[in-house]
Chain A
Amino acid sequence: MLLSIKDLSVSYGKNQALKNINLDIEPNTVTAIIGPSGCGKSTFLRSLNRLTELTPNTTTRGSINYKEHNIYEMDPMEVRYHIGMVFQKPNPFPKSIYENVAFGPKLNGYDNNLQEIVEESLKKADLWLEVKDRLKDNAYTLSGGQQQRLCIARSLAVKPDILLMDEPTSALDPLSTAKIEDLMTTLKEHYTIIIVTHNMQQAGRVADNVAFFLNGELIEYGSSEKIFTKPFDKRTEDYITGRFG
């Protein structure tokens, strides 16, 4: 088991966002987290690399074991080296394309083979061919879809095991979305992906496993095939058939 979540509860102040979540993630899979707005799926994703701690007054209980180490007993910076994240809206730094990808490795103290890491990461994110002649250009000269793939390359450059994706295509057009979905399937060979999505079709296309959240609780977790064809819980069925959400 790559990631094992036990009795995870997260509260913002008095507001409990997640209640006793138990979930195991297998390596080299894509897991989709689905559920209506406010169900805690983003909170869940952000608790996996301890980004929830950036919000004041957050309390977390339970444990998340990454390769047998509880990440809440690790240095948060180290956790984030191993568990990368791509956000809802592309958020490249106002720097060159090259500097964006090199940012993480530089923090880590790499400097001799930076060029190599940048090229390799951009290739993995399927962006290299489009930007190889303009690495010095500002990242904001790229289109939204390219920016998002740049953010994926930026995350890959620190060589994480797990990639968290928080609705990574919700701000993109269908073509860019398709590219990123294809990318997830190829990245799965080397990485483990956990993606939050509002889009049921997307979950169906990319995910091996699906977790359905409602009101801060994990209602159902299983293979994507099972969740979409024979859901166990009535609420899951209502949600995926579009009766609410």
Chain B
Amino acid sequence: MLRKINDNKERLIHIGLFLIAMISVLTTAGIIYTLISESIPFFQNVSLKEFLTGTRWAPLFQPQSFGVLPLLNGTFLVAGIAALIAIPLGLGSAIYLSEYAPEKVRKTIKPILEILAGIPTIVYGYFALSFITPIIKFLFPQANIFNALSAGIVVGIMIIPMVSSLSEDAMLAVPQSLREGAYALGATKFEVAIKVVVPAAFSGITSAFILGISRAIGETMIVTIAAGATPKMTLNPLDSIQTMTAYIVQVSLGDTPHGSIEHQTVYAVGLTLFVITLLMNILAQIISRRFREVYGNAR
């Protein structure tokens, strides 16, 4: 006997699954709506020019000042230090895993690297404050207890697995025939890796870097714990600074009344952060699409 198929039931399932898929889309739309709608009153009080070009950030003190550059400065200082750590170490470990490691070693190390990605960021934060910071203080006694260097190093360590894993995927996608072509010309293993595989995987590796840096920019817990709460225009990594994310935490946990201009700053800073990471993610996508290497006839 044939099963009787209930068309209405099928349609309901279809609609239900569609709605589930829409939840994340709607959430994103909701977040953007909130960020923008809450930022509008802020920008009615503070000009966009003052916000984007002002070099003093002091919404919580008198006289108030709303120049976001010190927060951007802090964010990019930490992200820059993180990139200096994560790019060479991430790329190095990707080259090792993709080109050098025997299958067995690769299968052991890769999951361990990925565990790093699963450690809660609060743990990293305390690791920065209680392990890295004392070392920095020992080496540079003039360093502040809360400093950009410690947070930057640990954010860098945190994004290594991401940079490494995405770069490795790009390198594994390079056809074996290109490696053989280089070996057949007398290249050493290192020359094959550096002169053929890495350039051939360039687009994937670059987008891995950008996504890693984007992740560093958005990182909150480590910088809140270890980098300080002093918005400052500085390039000195030993200084205490404040990032955009850490500022948002500070105000969100504080007792600024809802609707006050102090509270609205959170949304303006949040919107700025959102735009930056969005642009970086789009850039990563463009690079990996536009510059995706087509390996011709090679397998």
Contact = CB atoms under 8 A, between A and B. Distances in A.
B180 A51 contact: yes
A94 interface: yes
B296 A80 contact: no
A151 B293 CA distance: 18
Contacts of A154: 181, 185
Nearest to B191: A107
Residues of A in contact with B, size category: 20 to 34
Contacts of A104: 185-186
Contact of B186 (A80, A90, A92, A139): A80
Contact of B297 (A81, A90, A103, A155): A90
Contacts of A84: 184-185
Contacts of B17: none
A107 B181 CA distance: 13
Interface residues of B, number: 27
A239 interface: no
A174 to B, nearest CB: 17
B201 to A, nearest CB: 10
Contacts of A107: 185-187, 191, 195
A95 interface: yes
Contacts of A80: 183-186
B299 A89 contact: yes
B181 A87 contact: yes
B185 A91 contact: no
Nearest to B184: A85
A108 B188 CA distance: 11
B115 interface: no
A171 B175 CA distance: 17
B199 interface: yes
Contacts of B294: 94, 140
A54 interface: yes
A93 interface: yes
A140 B200 CA distance: 13
Nearest to A106: B195
B296 A140 contact: yes
A144 interface: yes
Contacts of A54: 179-180, 183
18 contacts: A49-B184, A54-B180, A56-B103, A81-B185, A89-B298, A91-B177, A91-B181, A92-B181, A93-B182, A93-B196, A94-B178, A94-B293, A103-B195, A104-B185, A151-B181, A154-B185, A155-B184, A171-B297
Given A87-B180, A94-B296, 16 more contacts: A51-B180, A77-B188, A80-B184, A85-B184, A89-B297, A91-B181, A94-B199, A107-B185, A107-B186, A139-B296, A140-B296, A147-B296, A147-B297, A154-B181, A155-B184, A158-B185
Interface of B: 102-103, 175, 177-188, 191, 195-196, 199-200, 293-299
